[in-house]
């Protein structure tokens, strides 16, 4: 007997909720759409949450203090929208797909480490004279004149040794040829 009463009351509550939604759903959705700045998905979520609250508090809907439950529904929906807006403002802004697609991709540290090891091994294959010039000009950032003074050789020799050293590295490091121009 208890199951029949529970089933009947649940069915009655579902019918009342469906009637509430038919009667007040459109105005509630219009308000939620306005409060959510035109975001239909957010407005639908707020309407659904409002009806869940109505289902959880049937005593508020049966109060004889007012002629219609619409003011109660609109107030609950408005408060839910305010709470949702405050919650969004408390979190960092969400990043859309467009931002991610245009974001700069940084090189992987593993790839950079492998490249460094490859270059070190390739530099070891150079003659000591070519290696000295590359170390001065490319790794220490010295100008041609500074490298010439440090090595005690003419500037033209620094230029030609740098040229031939890079050419030798291009042969040893074919995958890095574009970086060595």
Exposed e or buried b for every residue in 37-49, given b needs 16+ CB within 10 A?
eeeeebbebbbeb
Judged by DSSP in three states, 99 sits in helix
Distances (CA, A) of 25 to 90, 113, 140, 159: 29, 60, 72, 80
For the cut 50, the answer to whether the pLDDT of residue 4 exceeds it is no
Mean pLDDT of all residues in the chain?
A: 81
Q: Which residue did the predictor score with more confidence, 133 or 19?
A: 133
**What does the pLDDT read at residue 147?**
93
Contact in structure between 169 and 122 (CB atoms under 8 Å):
yes
pLDDT tens figures, 112-142: 788 888 888 888 899 999 999 988 998 889 9
**What does the pLDDT read at residue 117?**
86
For the cut 80, the answer to whether the pLDDT of residue 13 exceeds it is no
Joined tokens for residue 129: 């004279």
pLDDT tens figures, 57-111: 877 766 666 677 888 888 999 999 999 888 888 877 666 666 666 666 665 678 7
Distance separating alpha carbons of residues 108 and 31, to the nearest angstrom: 49
Residues 6+ apart with CB under 8 A from 129: 161
Contact in structure between 137 and 158 (CB atoms under 8 Å):
yes
**What does the pLDDT read at residue 19?**
85
Joined tokens for residue 113: 């480490």
Q: What is the mean pLDDT of residues 141-170?
A: 92
pLDDT tens figures, 36-56: 888 999 999 999 999 888 888
**What does the pLDDT read at residue 109?**
78
Distance separating alpha carbons of residues 36 and 115, to the nearest angstrom: 51
**What does the pLDDT read at residue 7?**
46
Q: How many other C-beta atoms can be found within 10 angstroms of the C-beta atom of residue 161?
A: 23
Contact in structure between 66 and 72 (CB atoms under 8 Å):
yes
Residues 6+ apart with CB under 8 A from 125: 168, 172
For the cut 70, the answer to whether the pLDDT of residue 163 exceeds it is yes
For the cut 50, the answer to whether the pLDDT of residue 5 exceeds it is no
């Amino acid at each position: 007997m208890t199951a029949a009463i529970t089933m009947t009351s649940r069915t009655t509550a579902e019918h009342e909720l469906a009637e509430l939604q038919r009667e007040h759903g459109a105005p509630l959705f219009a308000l939620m759409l306005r409060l959510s700045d035109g975001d239909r998905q957010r407005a639908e979520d707020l309407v659904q949450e409002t009806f869940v609250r109505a289902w959880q508090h049937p005593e508020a809907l049966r109060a004889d203090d007012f002629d219609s439950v619409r003011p109660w529904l609109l107030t609950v929906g408005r408060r839910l929208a305010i709470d949702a807006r405050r919650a969004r403002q408390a979190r960092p802004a969400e990043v859309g797909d467009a931002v991610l697609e245009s974001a700069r991709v940084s090189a992987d540290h593993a790839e950079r480490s492998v490249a460094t090891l490859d270059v070190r091994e390739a530099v070891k294959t150079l003659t000591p004279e070519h290696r000295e010039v590359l170390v001065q000009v490319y790794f220490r950032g010295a100008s041609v004149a500074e490298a010439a003074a440090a090595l005690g050789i003419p500037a033209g020799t620094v230029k030609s040794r740098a040229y031939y050293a890079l050419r030798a590295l291009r042969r040893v490091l074919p995958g890095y040829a574009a970086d060595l121009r």
